[in-house]
Amino acid sequence: MPDASATFVPEHPVDLRLTLGMVAQGRFDPMLRIDRSGAWRASRTPDGPATLRLRVDGDGRVRAEGWGPGAGWAVAQAPELVGGGDVVEGFEALAGRHPLVAELHHRHRRLRLPCTRRVFEAMVVTICAQKVTGIEAKRSYRGIVRLWGEAAPSAEGVSGAPRLHLLPDPAVLARQPSWAFHPLGLERKRAEALSRMAAAAGRLEAAAELADRVAARRLLRAVPGIGVWTSAEVALVAFGDADAVSVGDYHLPNVASWHLAGEPRGTDERMLELLEPFRPHRGRVLRLLQLAGGAPRYGPRMPIRELNDL
């Protein structure tokens, strides 16, 4: 039996794979599994570790079940996790300003932006992704969870329940020397950033309590080492911030310029110009454009680096 459970009816139909896909770090994410039967997520909540199971019934109701000390918190937060707090009213008219955006919005009507309320989790993922390929980022993240994390609470009695792991406690990461991250593909700069963010975990989580998402992003940037790109990447997932734009990203300017203007290469300035008509849903538009595919590639791809090259 779960330690906590609830059933709720979302205001809009839920697609767990589409929505939680923004949180998942690849098919082998040690903290999240999504399959035909639903989704499983492990997390360190304010009340302690928890394993959460989500299932969508045929009538659209969502069943949330939790195990572990943080089960109650995880179940209570489940509606936000599946995008229950994502306000899409008014976006229909904005999407109509560009035919592709309107088409993508219609095709992916069940897309909602998740709100995890777990800022440090999103911060670890984001730091791992700084200036590297997606393959490298996911590999480093999985290594951190498996090396220093621990097994998530077991869903006893549930057949086929996956064995998930928890992100390491911030205190554990804060005391690791930078060289301990090297076997995981993280050079000194990102390793030290992780240690700093782990030490500031309490301040980071406080941002999740702010109702004003702009103010929450501002609070994040007040922490030394957090810039515009990092705060936007975290805000999109941890706060469900529909207007967060990751300025400084390697791919997004090209994606926006290609799909919105037919230009295969773009800059941050051009991206912001093209997205301006969609405010306050610029982050949502970028997510939709990513679902449409990337911009044409010219020349070599971003290389997968070795630490010896850094």
Angle subtended at Cα 127 by Cα 124 and Cα 130, rounded to the nearest 5 degrees: 155
User: Within 10 A of 160 (CB to CB), how many other CB atoms are there?
Assistant: 8
pLDDT at 132: 87
Tokens for 152, please give them: 């998530």
For residue 102, the SS3 value is: helix
Peptide bond into 280 cis (omega under 30): yes
Going from the first residue of the chain to its last (310 residues), give the mean pLDDT of each consecutive group of 10, the final group possibly shorter. 94 90 91 92 96 92 96 97 92 96 95 94 94 90 96 89 95 94 94 92 86 83 86 93 94 96 96 97 96 78 48
The pTM (predicted TM-score) of the whole model is: 0.90
Give the C-alpha separation, 139 to 144, whole Å: 9
Write out the E strands in 201-304.
none
The pLDDT score that the predictor gives to residue 262 is 96
Number of Cβ within 10 Å of residue 205's Cβ equals 19
CA distances from 122 to 220, 277, 302, 303 (A): 12, 28, 23, 24
Query: 71: which 2 tokens?
Result: 């089960």
- Check residue 304 and give its pLDDT: 47
Domains in the chain: boundaries: 4-85, 252-291
**pLDDT score of 308:** 44
